[in-house]
Amino acid sequence: MDFFRAYKAKGTATSTYFIESTAPDNVDDEAPPSDLPPEYAPHLEKMDDSEKAVKQIAEDLGKGQNPNLVVMVHGFNNPEPNVLRMYMSAALAIGRDPQISSREGLVCVGYRWPSENMGAPRRGARDALPTLAGWILTLGILVVVISLPFYFIPGTANVVLNWLGRLGEHVFTLIGWTAAGLMLMAVLLRIIVYFRDNYRASNYGIPDLIQVIRAIDAEIMRQREQSSRTEPWPRVQLSFIGHSMGGFVVTNAIRTLSDVFAVPVDALNSYGAGSPPALRPEPPLNLIGKTFELKRFVLASPDIPAETLLSTRGNFLASALSRFDEAYLFSNEGDEVLRQISTLANYFVFPAKSKNHGFRLGNVEILSRSFGMIDVNEQDYLRVLRIGNLTLQELYDTLEDAREKRLVTAAAAPEQAPLPKRFTYFDCTDYIDRDNPDTPDTRNNWLALLTFARWRKEYDAEARLKWYSHLHLLFAYVVHHQKPNVHGGYFEGMLSQELIYRLACLGYDDTVRAYGGEAAVGEACAQKQIRMLVSPMLWSNRRANASVEPPRPAGEPTRTARQAAPQRAPQAGAPTPQVVPDLVGKSIVTARDEVAVVRERHMEATPPVSGVEPQVLLLEITRPADGKPAGEVLSQTPPAGSPLAQRTSIEVVIAK
């Protein structure tokens, strides 16, 4: 029995393979897996034996001095033709990029787990319905049919009234409609395939991906043992690109591949991301198997809860993310597949009391009026990243307050896991670009690819899409053939594809060199309206390896875009820079007004820099205060009179 099928791409400069699990969509399917669609025959060569594909992958990896295996994993609602189209597009994009295709020892693998098209399960919906649910549905429909004449055929109600009475008539009708509606809702949840795909991803996708990685690792070792080479063999770099639910598949696969017994357990509560630093795994964390080392992890619209970035408990994202050298997140505020469909589906399973929690990582947005590389100090990092209604800092404060209240005994708060700072973020909410490599790269050919690109933050960094904008995007995605493609547009735009594949295949350093420096990367993103926020941890590691020029100024809290972007001298006659206003003792309404005035003056007084904008943020923290009226500002940081930096965050404590 073949558990996998494999194909090799024809005519690509980089060795590219497609491996798919043959697990069926339904456990009782009788039909064999479908053959390769005819339109892909000119591009793909079906391999008679999937074992042969593993051997060829291992051979191709052995041809380079720095072998690199990049695995791409798709998301939910993706039948085989859609996945093959996506992976062929990726192979062609990589082939067009000489910076990637010229690398020896690079092998790309597109992995498909069993996912089906939305609406496909409708044919078996009635037969698969449990017996009791089927009875309830039949009874409900029967009651609905019987009750309709009560309201539409004159005289019928009088006959029934003598038997049920008017109240009984309405109760009878309500019960029927409710029973039928509940069962039809269960059928609808089946048809949207989210839960079915989630089950297959967990029980087929993850174990099968683990088996693929293990098989390649074993074959590499087998070939090396048979080789006559005497010098040591290099480790094979292993990187992943995960889209949507594919990010969930990858993170759980890495979590399983990592040896859970590598870390000693000195106490029951020495657990996961919240364990003391002394008990966390020692480097090298990224070595798995006999030959692989984890290098880069690129997530595009990941269907992963935002709270996993902040949780101090063991979670699948913390276990996987801490093992990669570099991590990247491509997201957009208007991803309605995650914001509406995923959050609604997870409403039944995600343990939260408030709608502020449960948003997905694919909806992360950067609070900035400008595009390109965003200038932010490390202490403000969580405050300029928002998911749904709250910034990451507000989410963290909320979770910490809840944790403190539910603790039975007093305990010191654990050190916050630095997971959010491991990511380099690309906010593609307003992304515009061409989606055809054959058209000239001029503004006339640029399209809004993920949203309608209204640039809501042009005058206010904290602006958000309106409720009707979200409805419009959802309607356009469902009815207008995914135009704009709010969930997968990253793999249609030329720049976004280039960034994703370069970062996964080359890493940050070589990607920066390919563009001609960090300033050029920021300028490319600014031109296509992408906001980019570089990970402080990535910057620190690069500087430690002496790979960054010019050197970082002493005492700078974190890398700023001003170090990478061209500097402009202040203009003659420019207004005097502003200072932090005195807000203590004033109402929060007055404080907001004063900060708004300072913000506008600061923007006028500070010369603009490409990819960087002057900004004043107001962070409000509410605390109980006896004898103080609610809404009064009790304290502020920094103190009044402090000079405003390019980006300043004013934190105020307000009486509750």
Interval 522-565: pLDDT, tens: 999 999 999 999 998 887 766 555 444 433 333 333 344 444 43
Nearest CA-CA partner of 333 in 464, 462, 449, 447: 464
Cα–Cα distance measured from residue 622 to residue 634, given in angstroms and rounded to the nearest whole number: 10
User: Quick one: three-class SS letters along 504-532?
Assistant: HHCCHHHHHHHHCCHHHHHHHHHHCCCEE
Cα–Cα distance measured from residue 168 to residue 172, given in angstroms and rounded to the nearest whole number: 6
Q: Give me the DSSP letters along 524-579.
A: HHHHTT-EEE--HHHHHHHHHTT--SSPPPTT-SS--HHHHSPP-PPPTTPPPPPB
Contact call for residues 65 and 106 (beta carbons, < 8 A): no
- The two structure tokens encoding residue 609: 């820099």
Contact call for residues 363 and 332 (beta carbons, < 8 A): yes
- Give the distance, in angstroms, between the CA of residue 188 and the centroid of all CA atoms in the same chain: 26
Residue 280 has what pLDDT?
A: 53
Collapsed DSSP state (helix, strand, coil) of residue 621? strand
Alpha carbon dihedral 609, 610, 614, 618, in 10-degree steps, equals -160
Q: Kind of pairing, strands 15-21 and 4-9?
A: antiparallel
Residue 275 has what pLDDT?
A: 52
Tell the burial category of 123 from Cβ atoms under 10 Å away from its Cβ (0-12, 13-18, 19+). exposed
Residue 396 has what pLDDT?
A: 82
Does the bond joining 284 to the residue before it have cis omega, within 30 degrees of 0? yes
Output the CA angle 361-369-363, nearest 5 degrees.
10
Residue 609 has what pLDDT?
A: 54
Q: What pLDDT digit, counting tens, does each position of 421-436 carry?
A: 889 999 999 999 999 9
The whole-number mean pLDDT for each consecutive block of 10 residues of the chain, a chain of 656 residues, reads: 86 91 85 75 84 94 92 92 90 93 93 90 81 85 76 56 59 81 86 90 93 93 90 93 94 79 51 52 72 95 84 69 90 93 82 81 92 84 90 83 67 61 94 94 94 91 92 91 91 96 95 92 94 86 52 36 40 58 88 84 67 75 81 85 80 83
- The two structure tokens encoding residue 573: 């006659």
Cα–Cα distance measured from residue 636 to residue 652, given in angstroms and rounded to the nearest whole number: 4
Q: Which residues contact 58 (CB under 8 A, 6 or more apart)?
A: 216, 219, 220, 222, 223
Alpha carbon dihedral 297, 301, 306, 308, in 10-degree steps, equals -30
Cα–Cα distance measured from residue 351 to residue 328, given in angstroms and rounded to the nearest whole number: 27
Residue 284 has what pLDDT?
A: 56
Mean pLDDT of the chain: 82
Cα–Cα distance measured from residue 5 to residue 102, given in angstroms and rounded to the nearest whole number: 28
Residue 428 has what pLDDT?
A: 97
Contact call for residues 169 and 157 (beta carbons, < 8 A): yes
Q: In the chain, helix, strand, coil percent, each to 5? A: 45, 15, 40
Residue 574 has what pLDDT?
A: 43
Half-sphere CA count of 13, side-chain side, radius 13 A: 14
pTM of the model: 0.78
Integer CA distances (angstroms), 230 to 55, 301, 349, 555, in order: 21, 45, 55, 47
Amino acid sitting at position 55: K
Contact call for residues 91 and 130 (beta carbons, < 8 A): no
Contact call for residues 93 and 498 (beta carbons, < 8 A): yes
Collapsed DSSP state (helix, strand, coil) of residue 69? strand
Q: Which residues of 498-519 are buried (b: 16+ CB within 10 A; e: fewer)?
A: bbbbbbbbbbbeebbebbeebb
